[in-house]
Amino acid sequence: MTAMDIFKKAALMGIGVLSMTEEKLKELVKELETKGEVTEKEGKDLFKNLLSRADEEKKALEEKIKKGIKDYLGKVDIASKEEVAKLEKRLHALEKKINEMMEER
């Protein structure tokens, strides 16, 4: 049974790889080893592949979420963190200039 077979099986069972904890993945691989569907070495390789795939899917999902939030914030016209930081920097520079001008008087 390949890693892809496991993903398909997990998807069919309604269990996304992302929702599976490391412990659940270990249990799944152990179950396959017990049933003789994979050897111990294949099980270790499969476990590493599953963890790697879950990590990749997690990162991809995080990027999609970030993009979705950024797109949404652009539509509702809310300042981004970077824009606020830029304004704060300008404000501090202006305050400094005002203070310097006040001291010169």
Q: What is the pLDDT of residue 4?
A: 54
Q: What is the pLDDT of residue 18?
A: 60
Residues 3-12: what's their mean pLDDT?
57
Q: Write the pLDDT tens digit of every residue in 34-71.
A: 888 888 888 888 888 888 877 887 788 888 888 888 88
Q: What percent of the chain has pLDDT over 90?
A: 21
Least confident of 3-7, 48-52, 57-61, 97-101: 3-7
Q: What is the pLDDT of residue 14?
A: 46
Give CA separation, 24 vs 2, 3, 12, 38, 91, in Å: 17, 15, 16, 17, 52
Rounded Cα distance, 87 and 93, in Å: 10
